[in-house]
Amino acid sequence: MGVATTTIIGQHIGAKDYDGAQRSVYLILRVALVYSALMIALFVGFAGPLTLIFSSGFEDADGQIAKMATTMLRLLALYTIANSCKLVLSGALRAAGDLPKEIEQVISSATLDSIKRTCEEAAIVAEDDVRQLWDELSKDMQSEFKLKLSVGKTGEPDWSASRKRLVEQVEKATSSELQNPYLCDGLKKLFRRRRRKMFGFLFLSVVGLLGGGWLAWKGLAPYQILAFGAAASALLAAAFAGLKGTSRIRAFYSKELDAQRTSLHDVMRKAFNEGVDKCYRDFVLLFDPLRKVCTEQREKFKPLLEAADELEGDFC
């Protein structure tokens, strides 16, 4: 399950399908928990027959070895739940990268993808507006001055470069705004806190297992049962601490993003307006050749116009 999680989540992360990665983690985790429940039922319900397979060669007249092994097997069966959670979640984190900077980049990338899609739709609307304006001016020039506006080989201007530049400008401005130093520091603190809790519970589980083994070796029943139970509880607490820490990290990021939503919106709007202004400036620049011809013709006929003005003055 752990290897499958690493492979599948790695494919989703590589394709930037973060929603699919999250759904896959939960799906694999549910499958692993169902498998763990079946194993617990097997080891708890059939602990006696399973123990007899390995204890038949021992000289155990009163059955103490088989009884102790049966009890230990039933207690250790609880470990499969915690172990399943640990293997699946560690496989997912191994595929995504369990580092604050990488997690921040993943979430920022998802946010940028959403902003990019919205910006592309708005850029298409701006492009259609400029294209419609070009068509109307072309018709007016054709009908009023018998002039046909033509640009490039096809005769129609290509606005794809302006549209792409508009999207890239908004994306760049938004990306700079999302690079919040406080966000990365907060994520590091939350990851350190989660790591300390998980390792603390894992250490307690190891101590419980070692203590239970020593108590079982000394024959101090039923204290070894309590020790093994405490070890299993510590493993479950470690898995719960990992899940709880991940929820806190997501809540922290959402809170910070809501806090800077206004400034992010202002930056996006400013960048988009500047990009649209550049698109219209590109539109005006298309008429520079026509403006140049008109200016040259005006300079060429300027002496004649001045002479006509003088002649008109003399008549007056």
Express each pLDDT in 58-107 by its tens digit.
666 566 777 788 888 888 887 788 888 888 888 887 776 644 555 556 66
Out of 240, 259, 278, a domain closes at: 259
Q: Could you tell me if 134 and 157 are in contact, meaning their C-beta atoms sit under 8 angstroms apart?
A: yes
* Amino acid found at 242: G
Query: At residue 24, does pLDDT exceed 70?
Result: yes
Query: Which letter does DSSP use for residue 301 in this model?
Result: S
Highest mean pLDDT of the ranges 31-35, 62-66, 219-223, 272-276: 31-35
282 found inside a domain: no
pLDDT for res 179: 66
Q: Residue 290 domain-assigned? A: no
Cα 166 from Cα 123, distance rounded (Å): 7
User: Please, which pLDDT band fits residue 56 given cuts at 50, 70 and 90?
Assistant: low
Q: How far apart are the first and last CA of the chain?
A: 102
User: Final residue of a domain: which of 79, 98, 117?
Assistant: 98
57 pLDDT higher than 80: no
User: Residues 206-231: pLDDT tens digits?
Assistant: 888 788 777 877 777 777 778 878 88
**Cα separation of 66 and 48, whole Å?**
8
Q: Indicate whether 314 belongs to any domain.
A: no
Question: Rounded to whole angstroms, how far apart are CA atoms 148 and 20?
Answer: 53
**pLDDT at residue 119 is higher than 90:** no
**Residue 255 structural domain:** 194-259
Domain boundary residue, one of 53, 69, 98: 98
User: Is 212 within the bounds of a domain?
Assistant: yes
Q: Which residues of 235-262 are buried (b: 16+ CB within 10 A; e: fewer)?
A: bbbbbebbeebbeebeeebeeebeeeee
- Predicted confidence (pLDDT) at residue 177 exceeds the cutoff of 90: no
- pLDDT-derived band at 180 (thresholds 50, 70, 90) equals low
Spatial distance between the Cα atoms of 249 and 239, rounded to a whole number of angstroms = 16
Number of domains in the chain: 2
pLDDT of residue 307 exceeding 70: yes
Q: Are 227 and 211 in contact (CB under 8 A)?
A: yes
pLDDT of residue 181: 55
The pTM (predicted TM-score) of the whole model is 0.43
Q: How confident is the model at residue 268 (pLDDT cuts 50, 70, 90)?
A: confident
The pLDDT, as a whole number, for residue 92 is 83
In a domain, 189, yes or no: no
Model confidence band, residue 38 (pLDDT cutoffs 50, 70, 90)? very high
Query: Is there a domain that residue 111 lies in?
Result: no
Q: Is the pLDDT of residue 252 over 60?
A: yes
Question: What is the pLDDT confidence band of residue 184, given thresholds at 50, 70 and 90?
Answer: low
**Mean pLDDT in the chain?**
79
Between 294 and 34, the more confident residue is: 34
Does residue 103 lie within any of the structural domains? Answer: no
Give domain status of residue 226, yes or no.
yes
The pLDDT value given to residue 74? 82
pLDDT value at position 34?
Answer: 92
Amino acid of residue 115 = I
Average confidence (pLDDT) over 128-132: 84
Asked, as a colleague might, if the bond just before 289 is cis with ω within 30 of 0, I would say no
Helix, strand or coil, per DSSP, at residue 43: helix
